[in-house]
């Protein structure tokens, strides 16, 4: 592609030179030279047209072939394969397609319509496949039942887009029977390779297991030798088969005997040793059973747990005995300590039971006291009801407040008094919330004054009526626990009811003395009621 472009550039430069020469010849009246230059210009034009044709052919070839690798890739298929453009013109084919279509190798098919050389028996199939591919769908043909199984082809029509964003149709084929045969051979080959690998793996595992077995055997022997327990085994002829270092050292230290394998214990060890071990060994050999005993083996406050286990071969015949003697001295000491602790715990439990009985007795006393408190509370409730009845029978309004100026008690006359003024009253209510806003500070000062212990008697204009109010502090154990307000209504026509102001003052002072005096039955009842409540609280705290 680069050579034609260079040729065109060279011809453009030459054309410019020739045109310049013609202009020079005309200017200087050189007719012969001008004719020669014109002939050269004509030859140059023919050459340029030829280069244009070559360039157009190369450009078409480049456009038809999306990549130089496409023909090479198609040759990799062992079955017919080709690439078409969107106009169903051939872009590239492989040699197998030429053989299938009966085309000679020298015939150029690139750029030609597919239908020009397609066999007649394939027209219907290819028409359907190309139609599906043009719609952007992949299409696969079904194997023909009438054709030869080894030679029949399954065609695949696939729409693709290459790097230049142009749409192409890739058509290739496969032989199902050959593929199945190759697939089966491949699977068999894979299975064979897998079996070979398994055999190699098994062989390596066997070698590794053999090494591990020797290593485990060495580890077991080392473990047995490092154990502090006595371990040895004998056959049915009492020949020593194996033993560990602890048993060997014990026999050498206790009896002065050097043990050796494959020699009879009856000949190596003294009679006192044989007399202890032989009955158990004989029982295991004869009955093929397991025995576990605890024995003071050394007679020196050391306890051992001895296990006799039969050695059985593949024919289920007992051919020997394995003996394990474990030092359990520490465990025995712990058991003795635990027994002592259990005895101590039992003694403590007995003491706890005695203490529990005392607590039960005390609980019964508390329950009796609780019942007495309930009875006392009932009596107090009755007395409270009695006191409330007495207060309700008083004609004057009575209101009792606490240190926070909250109403704790009031009688029926006080309720009616406030209801007549359109006010609802209840226990726990803030008393000053019943007072008109313009008299709020005055009444607050009166309440604070009486809560400080100063009795006050005053005439107050309350909700359009004049009332005589007596503020009296309530004392309990030399402490002020609240205040009592005695409210007595006075008619608005003072001139009619009290013609003489001195007489009114005398009556008020007299009533004040009667209310504030200790002989007043109302004060006595309130005082007794408070004393009983305080006594009940103290008794509850003591209980």
DSSP per-residue string spanning 353-379:
HHHHHHHHHHHHHHHHHHHHHHHHHHH
Tally of CB atoms within 10 A around 118: 14
- Rounded CA separation 185/248 (Å): 66
The answer to whether residue 90 scores a pLDDT higher than 70 is yes
For 128-173, the pLDDT digits (tens) are: 888 888 888 888 888 765 555 445 788 889 998 875 677 888 888 8
**For residue 485, what is the DSSP state?**
E
Instruction: Report the candidate in 342, 341, 237 with the shortest Cα–Cα distance to residue 285.
Output: 237
Domain 394-542 classification at class level: alpha beta
Over range 482-506, report the average pLDDT.
60
The answer to whether residue 513 scores a pLDDT higher than 70 is no
The domain spans of the chain are 2-64, 69-174, 227-327, 394-542
- Rounded CA separation 319/323 (Å): 14
At 25, list the tokens: 């010849």
Q: Strand pairing partners for 81?
A: 172
When mean pLDDT is compared across 221-230, 232-241, 388-397, the lowest value belongs to 221-230
- Rounded CA separation 503/115 (Å): 144
The pLDDT of residue 417 is: 81
Write out the DSSP string of 149-166.
Answer: TTT--EEEEEEEE-TTS-
> Number of helices and strands (H, E) in the chain?
15, 15
Which CATH number applies to 69-174: 3.30.450.20, 3.30.70.3280, 3.40.50.2000, 3.40.1360.10? 3.30.450.20
Q: At what angle are helices 521-542 and 501-516 packed, to 10 degrees?
A: 30
Among 3-7, 47-51, 496-500, the range with the most confident prediction by mean pLDDT is 47-51
The pLDDT of residue 157 is: 92
At 508, list the tokens: 């008020």
Q: Which pTM does this prediction carry?
A: 0.30
Which string of b and e fits 504-517 if b means at least 16 CB within 10 Å?
beeebeebbeebbe
CA–centroid distance for 240 within its chain: 61
| Superfamily of the domain at 227-327 | PAS domain (3.30.450.20)
For 313-369, the pLDDT digits (tens) are: 888 888 899 888 887 878 878 888 888 888 888 888 888 888 888 888 888 888 888
Write down the mean pLDDT value for the chain: 76
The answer to whether residue 543 scores a pLDDT higher than 60 is no
Q: Give me the count of residues in the chain.
A: 543
Instruction: Compute the half-sphere exposure of residue 56: CA atoms within 13 Å on the CB side of its CA.
Output: 6
The pLDDT of residue 203 is: 85
In 3-state terms, what secondary structure has residue 386? Answer: helix
At 416, list the tokens: 């009616």
Among 281-290, 296-305, 515-524, the range with the most confident prediction by mean pLDDT is 281-290
| Domains 69-174 and 394-542 alike in fold | yes
The pLDDT of residue 495 is: 40
Tally of CB atoms within 10 A around 227: 15
Question: Measuring CA to CA, how many Å separate 512 from each of 407, 455, 478, 515?
Answer: 22, 9, 21, 5
Q: Where are the beta strands (DSSP E) in 44-101?
A: 81-85, 90-93
In 3-state terms, what secondary structure has residue 428? Answer: coil
- Rounded CA separation 238/327 (Å): 24
């Amino acid at each position: 592609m680069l050579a034609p472009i260079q040729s065109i550039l060279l011809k453009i430069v030459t054309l410019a030179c020739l045109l310049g020469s013609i202009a020079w010849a005309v200017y200087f009246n050189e007719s012969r030279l001008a004719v020669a230059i014109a002939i050269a210009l004509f030859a140059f034009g023919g050459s340029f047209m030829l280069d244009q044709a070559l360039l157009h052919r190369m450009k078409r070839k480049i456009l038809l072939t999306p990549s130089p690798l496409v023909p090479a890739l198609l040759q990799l298929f062992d079955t017919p394969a080709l690439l078409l453009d969107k106009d169903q013109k051939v872009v590239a084919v492989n040699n197998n397609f030429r053989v299938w279509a009966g085309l000679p190798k020298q015939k150029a098919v690139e750029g030609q319509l597919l239908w020009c050389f397609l066999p007649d028996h394939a027209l219907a199939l290819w028409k359907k496949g190309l139609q599906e591919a043009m719609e952007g769908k992949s299409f696969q043909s079904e194997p023909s039942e009438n054709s030869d199984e080894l030679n029949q082809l399954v065609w695949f029509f696939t729409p693709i887009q290459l790097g230049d964003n142009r749409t192409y149709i890739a058509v290739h084929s496969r032989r199902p029977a050959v593929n199945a045969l190759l697939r089966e051979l491949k699977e068999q080959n894979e299975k064979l390779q897998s079996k070979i690998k398994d055999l190699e793996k098994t062989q390596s595992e066997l070698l590794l297991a053999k090494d591990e077995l020797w290593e485990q055997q060495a580890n077991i022997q080392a473990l047995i030798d490092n154990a502090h327990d006595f371990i040895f085994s004998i056959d049915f002829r009492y020949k020593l088969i194996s033993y560990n270092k602890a048993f060997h050292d014990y026999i050498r230290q206790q009896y002065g005997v050097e043990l050796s394998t494959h020699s009879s214990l009856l000949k190596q060890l003294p009679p006192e040793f044989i007399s202890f071990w032989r009955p158990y060994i004989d029982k295991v050999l004869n009955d093929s059973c397991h025995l576990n005993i605890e024995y003071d083996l050394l007679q020196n406050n050391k306890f051992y747990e001895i296990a006799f286990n039969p050695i059985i071969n593949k024919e289920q015949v007992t051919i020997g005995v394995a003996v394990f003697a474990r030092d359990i001295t520490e465990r025995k000491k712990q058991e003795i300590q635990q027994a002592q602790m259990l005895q101590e715990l039992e003694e403590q439990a007995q003491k706890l039971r005695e203490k529990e009985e005392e607590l039960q007795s005390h609980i019964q006393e508390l329950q009796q006291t609780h019942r007495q408190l309930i009875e006392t509370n009932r009596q107090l409730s009755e007395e409270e009801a009695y006191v409330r009845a007495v207060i309700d029978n008083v004609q004057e309004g009575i209101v009792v407040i606490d240190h926070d100026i909250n109403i704790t008690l009031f009688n029926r006359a006080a309720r009616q008094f406030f209801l007549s003024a359109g006010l609802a009253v209840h226990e726990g209510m803030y008393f000053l919330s019943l007072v008109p806003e313009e008299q709020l500070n005055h009444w607050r000062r009166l309440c604070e004054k009486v809560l400080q212990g100063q009795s006050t008697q005053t005439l107050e204009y309350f909700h359009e009526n004049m009332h005589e109010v007596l503020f009296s502090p309530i004392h309990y154990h030399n402490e002020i626990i609240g205040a009592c307000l005695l409210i007595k209504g006075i008619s608005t026509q003072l001139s009619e009811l009290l013609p003489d102001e001195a007489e009114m003052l005398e009556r008020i002072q007299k009533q004040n003395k009667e209310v504030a005096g200790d002989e007043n039955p109302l004060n006595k009842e309130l005082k007794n009621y408070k004393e009983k409540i305080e006594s009940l609280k103290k008794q509850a705290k003591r209980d």
